[in-house]
Amino acid sequence: MRLFETTEQGSVEIVIDEDIQARQDELAGINRQWFRDRGIRAFDIAGSVGAGKTSLIAGLVGRLSAKHVVGVIAGDVATTYDAERVTGRGARQVLQINTGGMCHLDARVVHQALQKLQEGIEVLLIENVGNLICPAHFALGVEARIVVASASEGSHVIEKHPAMFKSADLVVLNKTDIAEAVKVDLSRPIADLEVMRPGLRVVKTNGLTGEGVDEVMAALGLV
């Protein structure tokens, strides 16, 4: 860091030259190593409020718990409803993060939560705060980010939220059963994704019945 005298008012300019995004990525890297050291496979499940993140997690926990020790971190601005919904599905531990107004999880708050994680967890599902914009730039250090969108979010949901879908490793299109009722043609978001992210895996699900959850597991290599 260097200092420069300024010509007016005797102020001093401090050259800082710090990349804030790089710091976020560095923190995500610490989490990535933390998971690697413990052999934990961690996944970030993100998407809008009401898209079906918790239903997907509940479905995954129910299926995975037979073979794996599963933990869940549920991030919400307030309340513990989501944590309560997945408790009892077979998860070893459900940790709640109340972000207190923060619209996304970041690597730092996840790292703090990890200090409370029980030993022996093999698969960790992290539910991000319901938001299709803000989490895009905050990597958590996980193996994959699953972005859940639902039919009720409209035909143009992909185009409207480019940053989020560019950050996805897998996209889940949920509520396929109501697409016709809300007059949404699901071929549109699928075509938009193919333009934005050629080859990216998309799985259609119905969170109420569990249809498609096995495919999500297969796509994540969790069978």
Partner 1 sequence: MHELSIASDIWSSVKKAAAQHGAGRVKSIKLEIGALQMIEEDQLTFWIQALAERDGSPAVTVKIATPPEGAQIRVVSAEVEPPTDRANSHEGIG
CB of 28 to partner 1, least distance (A): 14
Select from 7-15, 42-50, 143-151, 180-188 the region that touches partner 1 (CB under 8 A). 7-15
Residue list 176-215, contact with partner 1 (CB under 8 A):
none
Angstrom distances, CA of residue 136 to CA of 167, 181, 208: 6, 30, 27
Q: Is 78 in the site for partner 1 (CB under 8 A)?
A: no
Q: Is 104 in the site for partner 1 (CB under 8 A)?
A: yes
Residue list 126-155, contact with partner 1 (CB under 8 A):
133-138
CB of 183 to partner 1, least distance (A): 29
**Which of 1/66 has CB closer to partner 1?**
1
Residue 184 has phi, psi (to 5 degrees) of: -115, 125
Select from 33-41, 57-65, 95-103, 149-157 the region that touches partner 1 (CB under 8 A). 95-103
Determine the residue type at 189: P
Q: Is 218 in the site for partner 1 (CB under 8 A)?
A: no
DSSP for 60-108 reads HHHHHTTTS-EEEEEEESS-SHHHHHHTTTT-SEEEEEE-TT-SS--HH
Q: Of 30, 79, 88, 163, which lies in the binding site for partner 1, with binding defined by CB under 8 A?
A: 163
Cα gap 100→214, rounded to integer Å: 34
Site pattern 35..74 for partner 1 (x: CB under 8 A): ----------------------------------------
Q: Is 16 in the site for partner 1 (CB under 8 A)?
A: yes
DSSP for 164-212 reads HHHT-SEEEEE-GGGTTTTT--THHHHHHHHHHSTT--EEE-BTTTTBT
Contact present, 142 and 44 (Cβ < 8 Å) = yes
Cα gap 123→70, rounded to integer Å: 5
Q: Of 102, 117, 144, 190, which lies in the binding site for partner 1, with binding defined by CB under 8 A?
A: 102
- What is the token pair recorded at 192? 């938009």
Q: Is 23 in the site for partner 1 (CB under 8 A)?
A: yes
CB of 40 to partner 1, least distance (A): 25
Q: Which residues contact 185 (CB under 8 A, 6 or more apart)?
A: 155, 179
Contact positions vs partner 1 (CB under 8 A):
1-6, 10-24, 101-104, 106, 133-138, 163
